[in-house]
């Protein structure tokens, strides 16, 4: 079927219902586009790096407003588009629409929440069941998840990834060799890239999240040196100040979901990388959703394991 992307973007920005067949077409076209992208996408400066969104549509709109907008700014999104927030579907579909509309201006990287198993537990599946009465749209989106890149490289100098490093990976070429078009495995290199966290540790240690590893400064320094890059930009961890640089500036965590879960009270940030690789952070706060005929239904609160934050 034909697809009026601009009309769909207008609907999504208002949080309004998008027909199932429109979602199907949108997901199919997105797959075709993403299929042609490498595991590690090349991106040019200037570019704005964005962390977790987690279904907070109104805050995503604020992010674009504060950082220039996709019409004139290049973006890398580091994954975790869905789960926890009330508008996971609209947030993800809006990013897909922008990807189709401006393919060179937006890079979407897979996060640990872009999986069938995690979205069944943390809200995305339930949201779609409420909004459509069946799980078809969830299945279409999960198919797209499997085609998202595992990382990006900015000007051959900044490596972007959702989670972090892996003891199984020394070089970017090893990431390029992974078969990414699958559900995220429970262990191994692909899993680690989406799940691992930086920590003040001497060497690799198992992550309390139950997947991935904790890694320290020596692992970061080795990776930077081996791959001739100067920064690892990642998301995956709530940072109350919106961003956090570690290991003498060799790694930064960027977090772009303000007042996470509508209760954490944190601010959010995006990181703009200039042509000379200078870093500029923009901080922004949460907005109160104005539900003017929108499509949100407040979910029942489930007790959730804190270490998945």
The residue to which tokens 């949460």 are assigned: 286
| Cβ contact 185:69 at 8 Å | no
Mean pLDDT, rounded, for 19-24: 98
73 vs 292: which has the higher pLDDT: 73
Catalytic residue set: 113
Write out the two tokens for 100.
Answer: 């189709």
CA atoms within 13 Å, Cβ hemisphere of 292: 6
- pLDDT tens for 253-281 read 999 999 999 999 999 999 999 999 999 99
- 84-141 pLDDT, tens digit per residue, is 999 999 999 999 999 999 999 999 999 999 999 999 999 999 999 999 999 999 999 9
Distance CA 276, CA 284 (A): 24
Q: Which residue has the tokens 């929440």?
A: 113
Q: How far is CA 228 from CA 156, 157, 222, 234, 271, in A?
A: 8, 7, 10, 17, 21
Torsion of CA 149, 100, 122, 255, to 10 degrees: 70
What are the residues facing 151 on neighbouring strands?
40
- Give the H or E element holding residue 213: strand 213-215
| Spatial separation of the C-alpha atoms in residues 240 and 259, rounded to whole Å | 9
Percent of the chain with pLDDT over 90: 91
Q: CA-to-CA distance for 118 and 108, rounded, in angstroms?
A: 18
User: Distance of CA 56 to CAs 85, 88, 184, 290, Å?
Assistant: 5, 7, 24, 12
Look at residue 306 and tell me whether its pLDDT is greater than 60.
no
pTM here is 0.93
Averaged pLDDT, 200-221: 96
> pLDDT tens across 165-184, in order?
999 999 999 999 999 999 99
Residue bearing tokens 């499997």: 146
Please give the domain boundaries of the chain with CATH numbers for all domains. 12-284 (3.60.21.10)
- Measured in degrees and rounded to the nearest 5, phi and psi for residue 307 equal -70, -5
For residue 220, the surrounding DSSP H or E stretch is: helix 217-227
* pLDDT at residue 289, rounded to an integer: 54
Q: Is 54 helix (H, G, I), strand (E, B) or coil?
A: coil
By DSSP bridging, strand 268-273 and strand 279-284 are antiparallel
- d(C-alpha 66, C-alpha 53), whole Å: 15
Please tell me what DSSP assigns to residue 304. -
Residue of 225, 222, 168 lying closest to 193 (CA atoms)? 168
- Assigned token pair, 18: 């998008």
């Amino acid at each position: 079927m034909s697809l009026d992307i601009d009309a769909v973007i207008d609907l999504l920005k208002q949080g309004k219902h998008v027909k199932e067949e429109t979602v199907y077409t949108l997901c199919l076209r997105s797959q075709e586009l993403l299929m042609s992208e490498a595991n590690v996408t090349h991106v040019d400066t200037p570019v704005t790096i964005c962390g977790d969104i987690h279904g907070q549509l109104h805050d995503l709109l604020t992010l674009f407003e504060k950082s220039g907008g996709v019409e004139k700014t290049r973006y890398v999104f580091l994954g975790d588009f869905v789960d926890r927030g009330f508008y996971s579907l609209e947030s993800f579909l809006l990013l897909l629409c922008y990807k189709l509309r401006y393919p060179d201006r937006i890079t979407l990287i897979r996060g640990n929440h872009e999986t069938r198993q995690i979205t069944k537990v943390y809200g995305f599946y339930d949201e779609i069941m409420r909004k459509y009465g069946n799980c078809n749209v969830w299945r279409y989106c999960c198919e797209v998840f499997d085609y998202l890149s595992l990382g990006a490289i900015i000007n051959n100098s900044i490596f972007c990834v959702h989670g972090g490093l892996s003891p199984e990976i020394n070089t970017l070429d090893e990431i390029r060799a992974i078969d990414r078009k699958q559900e995220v495995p429970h262990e191994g290199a692909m899993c680690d890239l989406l799940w691992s966290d930086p920590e003040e540790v001497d060497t690799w240690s198992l992550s309390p999240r139950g997947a991935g590893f904790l890694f320290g400064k020596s692992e970061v320094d080795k990776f930077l040196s081996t791959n001739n890059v100067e920064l690892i930009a990642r998301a995956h961890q709530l940072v109350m100040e919106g961003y956090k640089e570690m290991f003498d500036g060799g790694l930064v965590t960027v977090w772009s979901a303000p007042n996470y879960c509508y209760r954490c009270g944190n601010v959010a940030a995006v990181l703009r990388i200039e042509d000379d690789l200078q870093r500029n952070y923009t901080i922004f706060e949460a907005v109160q959703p104005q539900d003017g005929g929108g499509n949100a239904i407040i979910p029942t609160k489930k007790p959730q394991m804190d270490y998945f934050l």
